[in-house]
């Protein structure tokens, strides 16, 4: 699992690195309103896609003995649902533009209406890359798709300087994904419904979960877009992307890589429990300081990366860094429940999250705009996290103490790091020009990394070197140093 996680982290770094570079460049070429318009269109598409999203790939991974019958049935359902969803999008394009009071939205939605069909036609055999731990191939797929999108959208943004660059860029990414899935995977699906009952037995709960997950993920597009308009939505979504970069974008590949391993260990609760503790300690080791660093440097990051048009995003980034960390710790338990064959637990938690988030966000957005929406995210994530872990620990027959034993050192080390970074910010005056500001930011990051690393290792050694992420990282580093120092040949 560790090797697979490393591959997926590398893939995610490359994928999101290019994506983040694209966002930074586009933010300087385009206005928040342009991003908001495209977000509105994507939210409408996502709403219809999720109505037919049964996540058969999760069922295929969870079912260790899945054969061609299961793969072909999953693909057949995906294609049929894609056709229906695309036709529905063409029908709702005009009503959607009336709902958001944005006439430009009609043409955008009509152009993007074929997304669900392209998604449904994608080669179902791509699931094999994850199921067989062939993460290098999945890395190549994700990286190639992102590069193609970037090479299309960047010159268009320079020439057009409006939202059409984003629209065409999104289309190119879907087309590239469809083509690459058949180029890179020799499996050729055929139409079949032979295994429909087996797939639906598991996927019905995943489907309900997807419906509620949509409300969580796309609530800002609907609520902020309707109440505050496209500029506010653009500010929120770009802030969300920046704030979640060091947390969700690192955890997502770890979760993607370890799920097949969880599924294989699901019959042995003790082994699954140990695997979860190892993974959650690694998440804490990386994500807690990353989120704290984002919170502390949000003002400087926004000014350097996005420019003066985006200064209103600074407080939103700070709040979303907190929300991102809280949400991050709720993602890995999802895959434990899936591995145990209990997707209903995930559905219940997602439903509670959505039921809490929506009313809070509506009120908060009316009062505080996109900043109010960010507060809604923080409040909801903080309220649902204890419930999520209460259910998880009960399923794993695990007490709270072993979990705390893995996480207290990163928490204390992060607190010390925050003091160090804050001291640097107070002692040094920020340069007035762009290039020195980048160096100033790097100095702050270096101070934080050094402070965190020293305190973390010190606490670990004072604790007699217990099992956890610290030991895994140090053993990995020791192995690499030994390999590099050993003469070859």
- 321-342 pLDDT, tens per residue? 999 888 888 888 888 887 887 8
Q: Shortest CA distance to 133 belongs to which of 59, 55, 61?
A: 61
Q: Write the pLDDT tens digit of every residue in 22-56.
A: 677 777 777 788 888 887 887 777 776 665 566 66
Distances (CA, A) of 161 to 60, 98, 157: 43, 25, 5
Q: What is the pLDDT of residue 390?
A: 93
Q: Which residue has the higher pLDDT, 263 or 446?
A: 446
Q: Residue 123: enclosing H or E segment and its boundaries?
A: none
Supply the mean pLDDT for the chain.
80
Read off the pLDDT band of 488 (50, 70, 90). low
Tokens 């710790």 correspond to 329
Collapsed DSSP state (helix, strand, coil) of residue 352: helix
Distances (CA, A) of 457 to 263, 310, 412, 475: 32, 38, 11, 13
Query: Quick one: tokens of 365?
Result: 């957005």
Read off the pLDDT band of 289 (50, 70, 90). very high
User: Is residue 112 packed enough to be buried (19+ CB in 10 Å), middle (13-18) or exposed (0-12)?
Assistant: buried
Q: Is the pLDDT of residue 3 over 60?
A: no
Q: Is the pLDDT of residue 4 over 50?
A: no
Q: Write the pLDDT tens digit of every residue in 101-159.
A: 888 889 888 888 888 888 888 888 888 877 776 667 777 787 788 788 888 888 888 88
């Amino acid at each position: 699992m560790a090797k697979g996680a490393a591959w997926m982290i590398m893939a995610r770094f490359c994928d999101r690195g290019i994506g983040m570079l694209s966002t930074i460049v586009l933010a300087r070429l385009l206005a928040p309103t342009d991003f908001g318009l495209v977000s509105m269109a994507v939210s409408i598409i996502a709403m219809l896609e999720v109505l037919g999203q049964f996540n058969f790939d999760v069922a295929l991974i969870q079912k260790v003995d899945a054969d061609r019958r299961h793969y072909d049935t999953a693909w057949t359902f995906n294609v049929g649902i894609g056709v229906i969803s695309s036709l529905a999008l063409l029908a709702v394009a005009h009503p959607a533009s009336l709902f958001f009071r944005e006439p430009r939205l009609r043409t955008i939605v009509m152009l993007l209406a074929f997304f669900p069909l392209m998604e449904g036609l994608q080669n179902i055999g791509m699931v094999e890359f994850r199921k067989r731990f062939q993460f290098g191939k999945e890395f190549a797929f994700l990286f190639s798709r992102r590069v193609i999108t970037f090479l299309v959208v960047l010159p268009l943004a320079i020439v057009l300087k409006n939202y059409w660059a984003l629209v065409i860029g999104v289309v190119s990414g879907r087309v590239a994904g469809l083509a690459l899935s058949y180029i890179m995977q020799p499996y050729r699906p055929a139409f079949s419904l032979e295994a429909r009952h087996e797939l639906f037995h598991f996927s019905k709960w995943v489907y309900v979960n997807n419906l509620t997950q949509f409300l969580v993920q796309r609530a800002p597009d609907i609520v902020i877009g309707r109440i505050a308009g496209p500029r506010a939505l653009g500010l929120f979504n770009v802030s969300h992307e920046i704030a979640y970069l060091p947390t969700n974008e690192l955890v997502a590949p770890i979760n993607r890589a370890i799920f097949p391993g969880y599924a294989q260990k699901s019959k042995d609760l003790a082994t699954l429990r140990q695997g979860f503790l190892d993974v959650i300690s690694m998440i804490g080791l990386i994500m807690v300081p990353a989120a704290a660093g984002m919170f502390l440097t949000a003002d400087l990051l926004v000014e350097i990366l996005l420019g003066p048009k985006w200064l209103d995003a600074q407080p939103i980034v700070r709040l979303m860094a907190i929300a991102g960390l809280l949400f991050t710790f709720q993602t890995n338990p999802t895959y434990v429940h899936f591995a145990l064959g209990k997707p209903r637990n995930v559905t219940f938690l997602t439903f509670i999250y959505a039921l809490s988030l929506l009313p809070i966000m509506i009120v908060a957005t009316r009062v505080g705009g996109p900043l109010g929406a960010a507060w809604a995210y923080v409040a909801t994530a903080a309220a649902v996290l204890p419930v999520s872990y209460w259910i998880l620990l009960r399923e794993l027959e695990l007490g709270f103490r072993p979990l705390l034993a893995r996480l207290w050192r990163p928490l204390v080390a992060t607190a010390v790091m925050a003091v160090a970074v804050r001291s640097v910010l107070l002692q040094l005056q920020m340069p007035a020009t762009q290039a020195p500001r980048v160096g100033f930011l790097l100095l702050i990051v270096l101070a934080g990394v050094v402070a965190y690393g020293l305190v973390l290792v010190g606490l670990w050694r004072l604790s007699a070197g217990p099992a956890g992420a610290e030991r895994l990282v140090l053993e990995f580093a020791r192995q690499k140093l030994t390999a590099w120092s050993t003469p070859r040949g």
